[in-house]
Amino acid sequence: MAEPLRIGLCGLGTVGLGVVDILNGHGRLLAERCGRPLSLVSVSARDRNKSRGVNLSGCDFEADPVALARRPDIDVVIEAIGGSEGAARQVVETAIAHGKSVVTANKALLAHHGIALATAAETNGVSLNFEASVAGGIPIVKTLREGLAANALERISGILNGTCNYILTEMERTGASFETVLAEAQALGYAEADPSFDVDGIDTAHKLSILTSLAFGTAIDFSSVHVEGIRNVQAIDIAYARELGFRIKLLGQARRIDGRIEQRVHPCFVPLGQPLAAVAGVFNAVLAQGDFVGRVFLEGRGAGRGPTASAIIADLVDIARGLRVPTFAVPVGRLTRGQALPIADHIGPCYVRLRVLDRPGVLAAMTAILARHDVSIETMIQRGRAPDEAVALVMVVHETKDSNLASALAEIARLDSVVEQPCRIRIESF
C-alpha cells in the first residue's frame, strides 16, 4: 500500500470533530478505497485542553493554525474554522503557497475569494476542494463539476439553507408566526442566536454563487446575487399558498438567459407537485437542468456534523487517489465574466397580498394601476365584507416584468385605501 496521505485539521468544532469521527471509525475502509491510509497528523484549535469526546491520541496539537498550514509533514490541510477573512483565509492561502492541497467547507470564503484561491492552487499545482461548502452531504459540487460535464447546464434551483426550510416547514405545519418558529428553532439548535446570516438569505446566496460558477463556467460574482430572506413571510401567506396549490420555499436560483446570468435568492411559491416542494425540515435539495440529461434532483441533509464531515472526507479521498480537476470545473483563465441579469428584468408570475379598506371603487383603482403597468390578474381572492375595515385581498398575476409589478405596487401602496405595504412572492415553474 502507498504512503499515507498526511492530514492537518484546523478547527475542532462540530464539523472538525465529525471528520475525526470518520477517520477513526472508517480508517480501514478508507484506506482500501484510496489505496493508501488517511493519517491525521496534526490538529489546531483555540483550546488545547478542552474535552471533545473524540480520540486525538494519534496526532499532535498545533496552537497556531497558520503554522500547521506551513508544516512540511502535512500533505493536505482541512480548513474548518469558518469565516471569509482572518485565520480561515490565512490558513488556506498559506497551505496553498506551501504546496499543500486544501479541503474546506467555507462557502463565505469561496464566495468572496474563490477565484484568487483557485488561481493560487493552479499556480502551485494543488487541489482546492469544497464539496462540503454547498448543501452539506449532497454531492452537488462533484455532480456539476464531473458527473454532468457532458451537459450545457440551463438552470440550477436549490433549497440551500436548512434553517430556513425548517422554519417554513414548521410555519405551515403549525400555523405559527415566523417569530415563534424562529425562537423554537434557536432552542433546538437549528438556528443561531443571531440568525440573520440564514434567515436573510446570505448563506444561500454564498452557496448559489459557487453553484453558478460551476454550472456556467463563470467567475464567482456574489455581488450580483439578488437576495431576499424569509422574515416577511407570514402564516397567512403560507395558508394562501397551500390553497392555491403551492408551498413557500426559500430558493437559490441561477439561469443563463440570452447570454446574461440571473442569480436570485428569495421566497418562492413552488407547485405542490414539484420535488422541491416536498423537501421538509432541515433537508436541502438541488435541481439541475442539463440539455442532454434533463433534470437531476438531489436531496439530503444540508448541514450538521455527519453530513458535512462526510463531504470533507469525500474530497480527501479524491486527493488521496491523485484526482485533481479544475476548482470551478474549467481552468480559472477560461472562466468568463458573465453579464448579470438584474432582478428588475426577471419575468414571471407573482402572488400579491394586500390589506385594503373595503370601500366601493378600491378594486377598480388598483386594477387600473396594474393595467397601466402592463400587469394582468389571473386569480383574485377576497373573503368576507367589513365596510371601512381592512380585509385581505389576494391576487395571482400573470407573467410580468419584475420592475413593472414593483412600480405598480409602489403606486398602489400610496392609495388611502391600502393600510400596509403589499406582500409580493414570486411564483416558480420547473
Active site residues: 207
What lies within 8 Å, CB to CB, of 301 at 6+ separation is 136, 137, 138, 162, 282, 283, 284, 307
Task: Judge residue 154's burial from the number of C-beta atoms within 10 Å of its C-beta, 0-12 exposed, 13-18 middle, 19 or more buried.
Answer: middle
Task: Judge residue 115's burial from the number of C-beta atoms within 10 Å of its C-beta, 0-12 exposed, 13-18 middle, 19 or more buried.
Answer: middle
The crossing angle, in degrees rounded to 10, of helices 27-34 and 305-320 is 40
Q: Give phi and psi for 226, each to the nearest 5.
A: -80, 130
C-alpha cell at 247: 408551498
Q: Give phi and psi for 392, each to the nearest 5.
A: -80, 135
C-alpha to C-alpha distances, 299 to 21, 137, 199, 282, nearest whole angstrom: 24, 9, 20, 11
Q: Is the distance from CB of 197 to CB of 257 less than 8 angstroms?
A: no
C-alpha to C-alpha distances, 155 to 254, 259, 404, nearest whole angstrom: 6, 13, 24
d(CA 136, CA 310): 8
d(CA 247, CA 165): 11
* Residue pointed to by grid coordinates 366601493: 360
d(CA 371, CA 369): 5
